[in-house]
Amino acid sequence: MRKIALAISLVLLAATAFAFVDSDEGLREMTLRRHHGEVFVLRGERLIEVAGESGIEPGDRIRTGPDGRAELRLEGERRIELAPNSGVDVVDTASVDGVGGSLLGTAQDGDDLSIGFGTVSARTGAGRFRVDLGTGSSRVGVYEGSASIAAPGESAERIERYFESVVAGNDRALQVRPLQIDEGDAWDQIHLEDVLLLDERLTQLGNGLATQLGGARPGRSYFSELVGAPVNFIDTYLQRERLPDVLIGFTIARNTSSPLPGAFEQSFDYRTQGGRWGLIARIMSAKENRLVAQLGQTILDTGILADASEGLGFGPGSRPGARRGSSEFGNSGGSGGSNGSSPTDGPGTGGENPPDGGGGGGGGSGPGPAPPENEDCSVKNAGGCLKDPVGGLLDEGGLLDDGLIGDDGLIDDGGLLGDGGLLP
């Protein structure tokens, strides 16, 4: 009888202890976990250095040092990561106010999360977004799902995945634009890894094209033949944009579900706003594997065309197989204009006020005489453009010399198939 009473007492004691622990955990809805570096909690006048994990209360201020990183866990599936030199004031179990640095908020299962700064609040119920706090302006960018920004006197602005909004003076949201990617940023590296890889591949292919063509520029007829339809919309871009960018934007547009003219113009709208090609392809839901393969094949074909005989005379009215220099974008004479490498660079100087020694590449005196038509020369039959197949491939400057396999060629280091290329 005494043993039974003892056993009952032990069971009751264990149940009470379990209930106490469970209740205590219920009260500790918010915790702070230090990842590395210095992490502090200011509670009233008491400064607490966090070594591992610590309970958090409304009213606490959390700060990270120059090398500190931490994760704040609010109620439910709400998380906020703090980068080095960042801070937040904990408002309640679902919201914080940012006081500096960079914050990464994540919410799932409809748990609404809010990060306030100035008079603005950014929130999401299912997504991942970052807030970078500055003195004159801040930005809110979305990696997953969507978020919204609410400012006094303004309707809430929705930000979709892969976009960001700059908030001027921390009280007024400006126009939404594609995310401005920083390859050195830890969160961009983690959450945009696939986008960065795609962008690198597209850039390598574009550079391979530039190497193949030298100073030549394909014209409208060339792009028209690629799709078998008129492409009058491309003329302005051929004159003002870098050739690799035109081909990348054109190929992205071909691999979306939207009409080609509108998709092409949209791709350059995003580009003008600072978007990178890998991100633009993802925003426009381009078929990425097909995009890379198609762009690579087009560049290989273009490379063959560019090395045919005397080369291509690329320009608005050119056709594959024309002689180089036969268009208004000829590459002979003095130093012609060149386009900048950034998306917002303006057109090159072309032939305006060319230096002594020759006319500028974009100026000149107009198109030269058109060469005889070669009916066998086309994008679909690139080999037909080689009047001397052996010489065109093997001679100095030919496809298998500096063009495709030579130094800086498509299959050399940094090219399509060389070390660090698309298919290393």
Residue 258 Cα distances to 178, 234, 252, 287, angstroms: 19, 16, 11, 12
**H-helix or E-strand spanning residue 98:** strand 95-107
Most confident of 25-29, 223-227, 274-278, 290-294: 274-278
pLDDT at 370: 34
Mean pLDDT of 258-277: 97
Query: Is pLDDT of 333 > 80?
Result: no
Identify the top-confidence range among 101-105, 378-382, 411-415: 101-105
Structure tokens at 151: 């400012």
pLDDT at position 23 over 70: no
Residue 173: predicted pLDDT: 65
Model pLDDT for residues 334-378, shown as the tens digit of each residue: 333 334 344 444 433 333 443 444 443 433 333 333 333 344 433
Radius of gyration (C-alpha) of the chain in whole angstroms: 30
Q: Does the reported pTM lie above 0.75? A: no
302 pLDDT tier (thresholds 50, 70, 90): low
Residue 191 near residue 312 (C-beta atoms within 8 A): no
pLDDT band at 278 (very low <50, low <70, confident <90, very high): very high
In sequence order, what DSSP letters do the residues of 218-264 get, joined into one string?
--HHHHHHHHTS--GGGHHHHHHS-HHHHHHHHHHHHTSSS-HHHHH
pLDDT band with cut points at 50, 70 and 90 for residue 300: confident
Instruction: Answer whether residue 179 shows pLDDT above 80.
Output: yes
Angle, in degrees to the nearest 10, between helices 220-227 and 243-254: 20
Is the pLDDT confidence value at 242 over 70?
Answer: yes
Is 79 strand, coil or helix?
Answer: strand
Name the least confident of 162-166, 235-239, 320-324, 420-424.
Answer: 320-324
Task: In whole angstroms, give the CA distance from residue 285 to residue 264.
Answer: 13
SS3 state of residue 145 = strand
Per-residue pLDDT, averaged over 16-42, amounts to: 68
Question: What is the average per-residue pLDDT within 286-307?
Answer: 77
Q: Select the more confidently predicted residue: 8 or 134.
A: 134
**pLDDT at residue 174, as a whole number:** 74
